[in-house]
Structure 1
């Protein structure tokens, strides 16, 4: 049998578009099928022909439900993929919400671009449609944590809780000859909503994310003080606070934080509007008794999801009405990096006003509107127009639920096997390079920063032994 190989088809040289192709003889397994976001050079790859005929892929294995890990699935199905998509129960539930929302937004954006003539595609088309998502969902098969799943031909997969978002997992793919462990997105050691991550069984080859491979998360004595101060100051001047937040997990964490601050008197009681259909649907999943086992045992979900001053805006009419709000308010809307969704309309409305504040609560990938705001942009292009940025822009790094550099190193140290090679993915160049250097300096292990399109053999060298 030919050697097992791993091909990096995404999240190599960038922090989005995770796609890793494992080849075992004639079997092809794709770990994650993420959509590219951020810089145009990467986004354009969503439209490029897939490097492998999707009809020749046997299975897709998902680590979690964020768009940059599952958002390309309907395109694969549209172009011929007919196999199974394997995911934990939480990932399956959230992926349905994420994919339906992505298709809806793409169809609406295509219609808008066609109407106003700013698309370079003629005609303007979505990457996939809601019909494609419905077909994709028929391929999803649910799996349990910490249970080996037989994919046939001697290939097994095992999902271990990663503590990043509900349902997130590290995935170990193994045969009699080899094993490859994919970290997925690793959660922080102290996620405010979810149970702590577990450590998966080790493997000769490890693929690890590096989103925050070059930095540490702040852990101040008084958490989120910049966030609280920004809300207090904005309310005092009669403005509105806009919080672009990832619909899955981040909205829950933001609401929990706001609720605690109100209870402690750190911020005033003002109306809070959750303006994201996807976030509202995700909130219902987090509240579901079916998923309570994934939440922290000391957490009372109703304490922050049932706040009396929280208002849902499920339809377009109630969303538009927010533009006519009088007085201070907090608006939470997706997407977290301002790449699409209802938050764009709020940015158009609020960025020109000096009384208003935009608070960024997570990682802002290069090439996104969120990154432009973070870097001090004076104007922002929205729906074909340039909007002046006069509002205050605040970044609160404490909200991130990605492992920082020390978390990633701790995750590696806790593995029960010294890997032959660690492949570093899902990070911008400096972050990946920093983690590479730290692995060498502190662990003495062999690691490599993955390159797009690179193919590596993932079978242990004869005589290789764990010398821990």
Structure 2
């Protein structure tokens, strides 16, 4: 069994790893790069392999940096099955149709500005491309070892990152590979803890937060409540860039959990994302994947997805109307790194106001607007306009959907014996730190995956 590393090997986004085994070629994830303009422009380039040569695609979860290039893969010749956990299979078309809509809109805007004689700009892919790709999806339940190709078996284990997120176990040629996908921290609301895996010949493990530990969750939730109280007293609005899958639902969970303590009834809460509102319905259909506490809260009042002051805004007109609210609005909108989506419009209208509070609740990749704001930029460009960053910016790190250094080491410690390890899905500083800690504690070989690197299992 041989692994070829192609994406999320030295950076956080663009997950893509090719496995050659049993005479077959299996791709693990097919994600989009997110961050700087250069990184995002690379998504339009060629794949580092012939898509038609891939026999099957196995998807760890439905975030765009793990699935975002699947429509291109199919359009360029991939004809094999796409295997995903059941909830992931339902989330994928929602995520990808939204991505296609954004790509089509971007291409349309660019073509309106192109000069005479310049070639027409094509979107990365279209909604029709997504429909074609989704016809190849096959869903699997957690824990079911399945022969996906002759000589190749796969099983999904709960990764606790987002709904349907999976640790991938792959058997072939008498060897076993384990790909962590993205691992969630223990105690994440709604989701169950990541499952322990005992055996592997090689582990590919994410390392997003390999160099740090999150704040205590109870402290984090107290901090979030304090920010909301401060924002109310300041007479402004609260803007929360959040991905449509995972963080948006968790925020609503906490609003319901602390409904009385945080005086949530006084706010107008806007879930300003057609995609996030569709995702809520998928969560509603998959209560069986929730942890015990979430099951109890879902049966209580208020239900997190049916808060009396929650408004799901779908149309552009509804979204624009939010900016007429001068105070008392909590706006949850994508993207989570503020590098696109409706949150940009709200930032353009509110970032210059001192009474505005901007709350980042997830990882901000290098090159994104979110990273610049977190790093203290005094002004930023939004839609070509220079906007002063006078708002109060908060980073609530303890809400991350990724395991921290302690969580990653604890998950790896579950293997017996401890197998060789290749770190993916992390920036070099985080990976180097994590590698040093694991080598010191377990005395195992740890490699930092690089694009084009190969490794035998």
Q: TM-score, normalised by structure 1?
A: 0.93
5+ residue gaps, structure 2 = none
Shift of 1:233: 2.1
Q: Provide the C-alpha distance between the structure 1 equivalents of 2:324 and 2:154, rounded to a whole number of angstroms.
A: 52
In structure 2, the CA distance between the partners of 1:23 and 1:254, relative to structure 1 (3 Å rule), is same
What's 1:452 paired with?
A: 451
Q: Provide the C-alpha distance between the structure 1 equivalents of 2:372 and 2:112, rounded to a whole number of angstroms.
A: 27
Question: Aligned with 2:259: secondary structure?
Answer: helix
Q: Provide the C-alpha distance between the structure 2 equivalents of 1:369 and 1:43, rounded to a whole number of angstroms.
A: 14
What's 2:270 paired with?
A: 273
Question: Aligned with 1:372: secondary structure?
Answer: helix
Shift of 1:268: 6.7
C-alpha contact 2:220 2:396 (8 A) present in aligned 1 = no
Q: Provide the C-alpha distance between the structure 1 equivalents of 2:146 and 2:71, rounded to a whole number of angstroms.
A: 23
What's 1:461 paired with?
A: none
What's 1:465 paired with?
A: none
Q: Provide the C-alpha distance between the structure 1 equivalents of 2:12 and 2:217, rounded to a whole number of angstroms.
A: 27
Shift of 1:113: 2.7
Question: Aligned with 2:87: secondary structure?
Answer: helix
1:100 has 2:102 as partner = no
C-alpha contact 1:360 1:394 (8 A) present in aligned 2 = yes
1:371 has 2:371 as partner = yes
Question: Aligned with 1:33: secondary structure?
Answer: coil
What's 2:408 paired with?
A: 408
Q: Provide the C-alpha distance between the structure 2 equivalents of 1:92 and 1:293, rounded to a whole number of angstroms.
A: 16
Shift of 1:307: 1.1
1:305 has 2:302 as partner = no
C-alpha contact 2:236 2:326 (8 A) present in aligned 1 = no
Q: Provide the C-alpha distance between the structure 1 equivalents of 2:217 and 2:75, rounded to a whole number of angstroms.
A: 48
1:232 has 2:229 as partner = yes
Shift of 1:26: 3.8
Question: Aligned with 2:337: secondary structure?
Answer: coil
| Equivalences, count | 450
What's 2:360 paired with?
A: 360
1:131 has 2:128 as partner = yes
In structure 2, the CA distance between the partners of 1:416 and 1:235, relative to structure 1 (3 Å rule), is same
Question: Aligned with 2:84: secondary structure?
Answer: strand
Deviations 1:99-158 (A, max 9, x none): 01100111112222333459xx94332211101000010000001111111122211111
Q: Provide the C-alpha distance between the structure 1 equivalents of 2:377 and 2:144, rounded to a whole number of angstroms.
A: 48
In structure 2, the CA distance between the partners of 1:124 and 1:355, relative to structure 1 (3 Å rule), is farther
Shift of 1:52: 0.5
What's 2:246 paired with?
A: 249
1:163 has 2:160 as partner = yes
C-alpha contact 1:232 1:268 (8 A) present in aligned 2 = no
- Find the partner of 1:68 among 56, 65, 78: 65
- Find the partner of 1:197 among 183, 194, 198: 194
C-alpha contact 1:245 1:251 (8 A) present in aligned 2 = yes
What's 2:344 paired with?
A: 344
What's 1:213 paired with?
A: 210
Shift of 1:25: 5.5
C-alpha contact 1:216 1:404 (8 A) present in aligned 2 = yes
Question: Aligned with 1:105: secondary structure?
Answer: helix
- Find the partner of 2:176 among 176, 179, 197: 179
Deviations 1:156-182 (A, max 9, x none): 111111111110110011114211110
When structure 1 is superposed on structure 2, of 197-206 and 378-387 the one drifting more is 378-387
Q: Provide the C-alpha distance between the structure 2 equivalents of 1:23 and 1:265, rounded to a whole number of angstroms.
A: 53
Question: Aligned with 1:324: secondary structure?
Answer: coil
In structure 2, the CA distance between the partners of 1:240 and 1:312, relative to structure 1 (3 Å rule), is same
- Find the partner of 1:37 among 31, 34, 38: 34
Shift of 1:449: 0.6
In structure 2, the CA distance between the partners of 1:220 and 1:78, relative to structure 1 (3 Å rule), is closer
1:85 has 2:85 as partner = no
When structure 1 is superposed on structure 2, of 100-109 and 198-207 the one drifting more is 198-207
Question: Aligned with 1:164: secondary structure?
Answer: coil
Shift of 1:385: 2.7
Deviations 1:359-380 (A, max 9, x none): 1010101111111111011222
In structure 2, the CA distance between the partners of 1:237 and 1:452, relative to structure 1 (3 Å rule), is same
Q: Provide the C-alpha distance between the structure 2 equivalents of 1:215 and 1:33, rounded to a whole number of angstroms.
A: 27
Task: State the superposition RMSD in angstroms.
Answer: 1.7
Q: Provide the C-alpha distance between the structure 2 equivalents of 1:158 and 1:222, rounded to a whole number of angstroms.
A: 36
Q: Provide the C-alpha distance between the structure 1 equivalents of 2:95 and 2:415, rounded to a whole number of angstroms.
A: 31
- Find the partner of 1:294 among 289, 298, 303: 289
When structure 1 is superposed on structure 2, of 308-317 and 137-146 the one drifting more is 308-317
1:440 has 2:435 as partner = no
Shift of 1:228: 2.3
In structure 2, the CA distance between the partners of 1:298 and 1:154, relative to structure 1 (3 Å rule), is same
C-alpha contact 2:22 2:151 (8 A) present in aligned 1 = no
Deviations 1:329-379 (A, max 9, x none): 111101110121111111111112222111101010111111111101122
